[in-house]
Amino acid sequence: MEERRLQVTSRLGLHARAAANLVRVASRFQSNLTLQRLDGNGEEADAKSILSILTLAASRGTVLRVVASGVDEQEALEAVVGLFSRDFDEIEKSGADLPPVTQEFRCKGLGVSDGVVIGRVLRLQEGTRDVYRAVIEEADLERERRRFRAAVRFSRRQLEAIKDRAEKELGRGHAYIFDAHLLFLEDAKLTRDVEDYIVKERANAEWAAKVVGDRLLSIYTQINDEYLRERGSDIEDVIQRLLANLTGEGPKYPNLSEDAVIVSPDLLPSTIAELNLNHVKAIATDAGGWTSHMAIIARGLGLTAVVGLRNFYQRTRTGDRIIVDARRGEVVLHPAQETLDQYQLMEETRGPTPAPAGPVDCGPVATLDSVQISLRANVELPTEFQAVRDFGACGVGLFRSEFLLSRPGLMSSEQEQYETYKSLALAAGEYGAVVRLFDVGGEFGPDVKERERNPALGLRAVRFNLRHKEIMRTQVRAILRAAAAGRLSLVVPMVADVADIRSAKRVIDEELQRLAEEQASFSEVQIGAMIEVPSAVLTAERIASEVDFFELGTNDLVQYTLAVDRGNDKVSDWFRTLHPAVLYGIRRTLQAAQAASIPVILCGEMASTPAYAVLLVGLGASDLSMIPAMIPRVRAVLSQINADDAREVALKCLSLATADDVEELVRNEFRARWPELFPPNTLPKALE
Ligand code: PEP
Ligand code: MG
């Protein structure tokens, strides 16, 4: 008889696929092979029977005694030891076609948030987890139930810790979601059903949690009540957490090391908001583009990010050393020592822009020929409110309020929203802040279970609000109440038709009326329309007569004018901000607003790019809203140009036929007119 103690080290434990490989190896030998758990009741399994192995429910970390007895016992044991050490010869599904590399490997993407970072990979894939089914012996059912209860207790402790952290780092607006998770976790409907299922079906706890979770989810997705139905994604979240703790896979965001670089196929903006930002240094994703919301929030939070890396995720392992170089739009996996040496020198001089130490210039900037330009801040999270003052912004030109919804589909209460808008108004000061009604749908699916075929063209923004009026009313009331404490206005996203704005105004009027009847403290606000869809550009004069101001969203304007998905790296070559049709749309909107004597705030990413900001001024813009950290740079550039020169260049651009022509003209004109302001890397790149 030969025996050995072995530990299960593979990520998913000894689950079905791994067990099948073990059976295959064990069956090659004549000897008997058994596995015995060294914890609990010392259960035993036959290594040649998959069902028997699965009853062990051996998750990662489990120590097993492997015993071989028979004529070829030594070889059999050696073969099993080898298999354990190779983690059961499992190749992760997603990594099957691209094996991880260990030599220096460079991958080109798109740098969307500045900085150069050296760190360690933390792989994050949302919503995937393998669950296996095991038959539990009658005598072990109580042990299985105890295992489940322990996972519930552990999950609760995790959630409480996450909630505390979220409260400190992201504000209460983000923390409340974890209260909901805690309630779900303790709900008898979940815990009792899982325990009943374990006993009735003699199922392992993972399987029972998955089945009960799926049933609950399917019930929730059918519910007619919008609010209740939206809870589905939270149930899913809680179940995922429970499963992670049962399988020993650990929480979704394991203890982040100080230098974690999140590597993911794609990342929900809400996931970024949940991360421990003190530890995460950078993000690298396969999908995404410059204007995807994930990129925008990364810039807002000063997290270095490179996106559009295609199949990079598959090549990585958690813990791999990585360099994320957003300047070059590239990542380096397993950097060689000389590469590291080069980068270590650079890291000290580069990184996300810190707030200036001393006093900063604030208020509008004047061009050399005395044209006044307001520079405002685009803000997504309460953690950025301080940046408004730090970078000298004229208030907040765009508050993307949907970032308050820390998970798609989970709305926050009127009171919670009120508190946030009130602190926004206080942070924005005399210039005030523009709150955008939730721009959900699109990337912020209202219900992740029901993904739309074509979200950007679906029930997004104002359409979502008009379809879900209770959600809209709650937000409108919170804004109107908070407006009593400071200067706030409200903008309606993705208006495509005068009727959209009329319908939205009707709801706002009704809420004003109700607040007056309730004798609540509130204030009327100015109402604006986001112009970001070609139909709105073409009917801008008519929309202008219905609103107090316009906001021009160039990110979506490019997307919809050119029919290029802003988050799809495959078509990023077609996302041409300087396409003549886009410039024409901007000019047309500015002229319509001028004719109606209403202001226009330009708030797309164009305004954050100094060269493009100059062009916008040339097209007639006098109010730009941007990433707070970019304000000092845009201010410096605009204070050193003549608006008249900018106008000349812009007019020439408007007469050209293609985006290539415009970019070439911009390169040549800017170099000739302002050589010291625009070194080559600040101008649109020539095509290779
Ligand atoms: C835009 O579309 O340009 C805009 C400012 O809004 P968002 O990027 O949030 O869609
Ligand atoms: Mg938009």
Q: What is the pLDDT of residues 263-279, one digit of tens each?
A: 988 776 656 665 666 67
Of the candidates 650, 538, 527, 540, the one whose C-alpha atom is nearest the C-alpha of residue 592 is 540
Per-residue pLDDT at 351 exceeds 80: no
What ligand 1 atom has the least distance to the C-alpha of 400?
Answer: 9
Q: What proportion of the chain, given as a percentage, has pLDDT over 90? A: 48
Counting ligands in written order, the one closest to the CA of 269 is 1
Q: 127: which DSSP letter?
A: T
> What's the pLDDT at 271?
66
Per-residue pLDDT at 409 exceeds 50: no
Q: 329: which DSSP letter?
A: T
> What's the pLDDT at 268?
67
What ligand 1 atom has the least distance to the C-alpha of 553?
Answer: 3
Q: 412: which DSSP letter?
A: P
Counting ligands in written order, the one closest to the CA of 444 is 1
What separation in Å is there between the alpha carbon of 291 and the centre of ligand 2? Answer: 9
Over residues 234-256, the pLDDT tens digits come to 677 788 788 878 876 654 554 55
Please compute the mean of the pLDDT values over residues 285-312 and round it to a whole number: 81
> What's the pLDDT at 514?
98
Per-residue pLDDT at 688 exceeds 50: no
What separation in Å is there between the alpha carbon of 272 and the centre of ligand 1? Answer: 18
What separation in Å is there between the alpha carbon of 553 and the centre of ligand 1? Answer: 5
Residue 227 is encoded by which pair of tokens? 């609010």
By most ligand atoms within 8 Å of CB, the mutation choice from 379, 577, 589, 603 for ligand 1 is: 603
Beta pairing class for 304-307 and 280-285: parallel
Residue 276 is encoded by which pair of tokens? 């421990």
Ligand 1 lining (C-beta closer than 6 Å): 291, 398, 400, 439, 532, 553-556, 603-604
- Quote the CA–CA distance of 319 and 337 in Å, as a whole number: 17
> What's the pLDDT at 446?
46
> What's the pLDDT at 249?
60
Q: 369: which DSSP letter?
A: T
Over residues 149-164, the pLDDT tens digits come to 999 998 898 888 877 8
What separation in Å is there between the alpha carbon of 270 and the centre of ligand 2? Answer: 17
Please spell the DSSP secondary structure of 84-97, one letter per residue. Answer: HHTGGG---GGGSS
> What's the pLDDT at 134?
80
Residue 257 is encoded by which pair of tokens? 């090391």
CA-nearest residue for atom 10, ligand 1, is 556
What ligand 1 atom has the least distance to the C-alpha of 532?
Answer: 2
What separation in Å is there between the alpha carbon of 555 and the centre of ligand 1? Answer: 5
- Quote the CA–CA distance of 263 and 310 in Å, as a whole number: 12
Cβ-contact 412, 234 below 8 angstroms? no
* C-alpha 548: how far from chain center: 32
Which of the residues are catalytic? 293, 603
Counting ligands in written order, the one closest to the CA of 402 is 1
Of the candidates 495, 484, 573, 506, the one whose C-alpha atom is nearest the C-alpha of residue 538 is 495
Collapsing DSSP to helix, strand or coil, 603 comes out as coil
Residue 74 is encoded by which pair of tokens? 């030594």
